[in-house]
Amino acid sequence: MSRRILAMIAAAVLTAAACTTATDTADTPTTTLGTTTTIASTTSPTTTAPATTTTSTIPDASGFPVTIDAPNGPVTIETQPERIVSLSPTSTEVLFAVGAGDQVVAVDNQSTYPADAPVTELTGFEPNLEAIAGYDADLVILMYDPGEAIAGLEAIGIPVIMHPAASTLDDVYLQIEQVGKATGHSAEAERLVASMEEEITAASSSVDGEGLTYYHELSPDYYTVTSSTFVGSLYALFGLDNVADGADPDGFGYPQLSAEHILNEDPAMIFLADTKCCGQDASTVAARPGWDVLGAVRSGNIVELDDDVASRWGPRVVDFVEAIAQAVGGYEEA
């Protein structure tokens, strides 16, 4: 896993892009170790989120043309799109969550959610313009431009919205609202954002993690995130302290720690975002040389996350925040 890849995709989608396949939809199995092991998945009885709604609604075609002030510049969409191609797993989730699922004709091979998304062999890392055009696309949404993809699509008359990895929750909300406006589902998008804000506020204010330290694992070779990243900012909502913050002198945001650093820091909580991609769970962590002495291992404060939920910044960020709240609320001291 290279530093170049992490930087290129902002590492918020590292696990989903590098490890998850289109068939990874199974729930994370429960494993108990020590006093308690918290399992975070999208089907947890304590987890609710607007992202589970994937029904489509009738778009409002009367509001077109519209212009979206996207990161790649102003994008004008003359008529309500009927054949949307998504090359971003997060954008795919957003499209379905705002009710535009019936307008989506193709998504990239990493768009594993929702289950009824029309997954293809398209990739957002090396977009095939001919293949995209073959779907008669009238709108393309992608995460970044690996070369001249945007210019090439625009040259053949296909409007393109680029929605890169979010840095803040405000970025998330803005992207959802833009997708809603671009597809004729502004009202649904506004309701979704309001619901997310309410649920995230409720979850983050329900428990206090002040004074607790944590380690968020992206991969078994100890790549992680710092507080400066989007993922890190979600943990900061609870007052949690990140053990990686002092190990990132360049301010990269996604350092690779050493086992010695993690053992010395002895995090109170360990969050695993590599359960689906890399088979990590509480038992594999406990089996690592020397890790059995960690407080998080001895007390069972190991949280097995759904890789996709923990690596995307769409509507299911609510699930992620609620998983953190559940873990902090169930924390037991070693």
Helix (H, G, I), strand (E, B) or coil at 334: coil
Q: Is the dihedral of CA 215, 218, 220, 222 positive or negative?
A: negative
- Do 234 and 324 belong together in one domain? yes
pLDDT for the residue 59:
66
Q: Is residue 233 part of a domain?
A: yes
pTM assigned to the model: 0.84
End of a domain among 175, 199, 223?
199
Q: Is residue 86 part of a domain?
A: yes
Range of the domain at 311: 3-49+208-329
Cβ contact 225:283 at 8 Å: no
- Do 138 and 192 belong together in one domain? yes
- Measuring CA to CA, which residue among 190, 185, 189, 182 is closest to residue 81? 182
The whole-angstrom separation of Cα 206 and Cα 182 is 35
Q: Report how far apart, in Å, the C-alpha atoms of 228 and of each of 53, 104, 273 are.
A: 31, 34, 18
- Do 230 and 293 belong together in one domain? yes
**Angle at the Cα of 13 from the Cα atoms of 36 and 250, rounded to 5 degrees:** 95
The whole-angstrom separation of Cα 17 and Cα 123 is 10
- Do 293 and 179 belong together in one domain? no
- Measuring CA to CA, which residue among 136, 174, 126 is closest to residue 158? 136
The whole-angstrom separation of Cα 83 and Cα 77 is 13
List the CATH number of the domain containing 187: 3.40.50.1980
pLDDT for the residue 56:
62
The whole-angstrom separation of Cα 70 and Cα 49 is 26
- Measuring CA to CA, which residue among 333, 326, 331, 320 is closest to residue 51? 320
Q: Report how far apart, in Å, the C-alpha atoms of 34 and of each of 46, 174, 294, 326 are.
A: 22, 42, 11, 17
Q: Is residue 334 part of a domain?
A: no
- Do 98 and 69 belong together in one domain? yes
pLDDT in tens, the chain (334 residues): 444 344 444 433 443 333 443 333 222 222 233 333 333 443 333 333 344 445 567 766 678 999 999 999 999 999 999 999 999 999 999 999 999 999 999 999 999 999 999 999 999 999 999 999 999 999 999 999 988 999 999 999 999 999 999 999 999 999 999 999 999 999 999 999 999 999 999 999 999 999 999 999 999 999 999 999 999 999 999 999 999 999 999 999 999 999 999 999 999 999 999 999 999 999 999 999 999 999 999 999 999 999 999 999 999 999 999 999 999 999 977 5
End of a domain among 152, 175, 199?
199
**Two tokens, residue 155:** 């040259």
Phi, psi (5° rounding) for residue 323? Answer: -65, -40
Q: Is residue 264 part of a domain?
A: yes
Residue 260, number of CB atoms within 10 A of its CB: 9
β-bridge mates for residue 73, sequence order:
70
Q: Is residue 267 part of a domain?
A: yes
Q: Is residue 231 part of a domain?
A: yes
Using only C-alpha atoms, what is the Rg of the chain? 20
Q: Is residue 312 part of a domain?
A: yes
DSSP string covering 215-235: EEESSTT-BB--TTSHHHHHH
Q: Report how far apart, in Å, the C-alpha atoms of 43 and of each of 1, 34, 39, 172, 208 are.
A: 30, 23, 10, 22, 24
pLDDT for the residue 36:
33
Q: How many domains does the chain have?
A: 2
Q: Which residue has the tokens 């108990």?
A: 32
- Do 68 and 173 belong together in one domain? yes
End of a domain among 134, 165, 199?
199
Cβ contact 183:98 at 8 Å: yes
